[in-house]
Amino acid sequence: MVAKRQSLNILNSSLSTSLARFLSIACHPLLMPTFAFGILLFRVPQVLGVDVFPATLRLSLLVLIFVGTFGVPALLIYYLYRSGYVQTLHLTTLADRKLPFFLTAFIYAFLTVLFAYRMELISTIAPEIAVLLGSITVSILLVGIISLYWQISAHTVGLSGVIGIIAGIMLKFSQSELFIPLLLSILLTGFVGSARLKLNVHTPAQIGAGFVLGLSVSLTVVFWLV
C-alpha cells in the first residue's frame, strides 16, 4: 500500500513537472508580442486603426510580427546554442542570458524602426503598432540589463506586458471587448508563474519583479503614447 502511494506521488509529481514545462514553452516570452497583437488586430482593430484592412491583410501583418519577434530571435538563439555561445536553449543561467537578450532587443528595435519609418502605409494608419513594439523592446532591454546581475523572470515580464497593453487599452478607450482576453491573460500569468517556481528556475521575488517590470512599462506606454 505504501509502495503504491509512493508510486502515485511520483507520477503526480512527474505530471505536474511536465505541465510546468509545457506552460513555460507554450508561453515563451518571444511569443507574447504575437499573442498581444493577435488580440488587438482581431478583437479591437479600430484601436490600432486597422479596421479598414480585411482580415486576411491583418493576418499577414500578424505573421510578419510573428516572424520578426519570434522566428528571427529564435533562430539566432539556436545559432548561439549550436555555436557554443550559450549552454542551453532555456537560458537558465546569467551567463547564457547576456548575449541573447541584448541581440533580441536589437532585433526588436530594428523591427520597431521598420514599422515606424519604412512601412509607410502602416506607420501612417497604425503608428500605435510601432509604439507598442517599442515598449516591448524597452522591456527586453531592461531584462537584459538586470540579467547582468540577477535572474529576473522574462516569462512574467512578457505576460504582464500583455496584461498592461490589454488593460491600458481597455481602460483608455473603453473597450469592454477586451475583458475576457484580460481575464485569461491574468489567469495564464498566474499559472506560468507557478510553473516557473515548480521548475525551480526562479524565486518568488524574481517572478514578482518580472510582473512589475512588464506591467509598468506597458501601462506607461499605452497611457502616454498610444
How many Å apart are CA 43 and CA 54, to the nearest integer? Answer: 13
Residue 6: which pLDDT band, with cuts at 50, 70 and 90? very low
Record the pTM: 0.91
DSSP 64: H
Report the pLDDT value the prediction gives residue 15, as an integer from 0 to 100. Answer: 45
Closest CA to 207 of 139, 138, 159, 136: 159
* Spatial separation of the C-alpha atoms in residues 69 and 104, rounded to whole Å: 8
Coil vs helix vs strand at 1: coil
pLDDT in tens, 15-57: 488 899 999 999 999 999 999 999 999 999 999 999 989 999 9
The closest alpha carbon to 37, from 144, 124, 122, 143, belongs to 122
CA separation for the pair 213, 226 (Å, rounded): 19
> Does 58 or 16 have the greater pLDDT score?
58
- The H-assigned helical ranges of 114-153 are 120-125, 127-146
Q: Provide the 3-class DSSP secondary structure of residue 170.
A: helix
At residue 59 the predicted structure's pLDDT band, cuts being 50, 70 and 90, is very high
CA distances from 206 to 92, 100, 140, 197 (A): 13, 19, 15, 10
pLDDT digits (tens, 9 = 90+) for 155-171: 999 999 999 999 999 99
pLDDT at 9 over 90: no
**Contact status, residue 41 vs residue 61, Cβ threshold 8 Å:** yes
Place of cell 500569468: 189
Provide the sign of the torsion angle of the four alpha carbons 14, 20, 26, 30, taken in this order. Answer: negative
Residues 62/34, Cβ–Cβ less than 8 Å: yes
Measured CA to CA, the distance from residue 13 to residue 2 in angstroms comes to 16
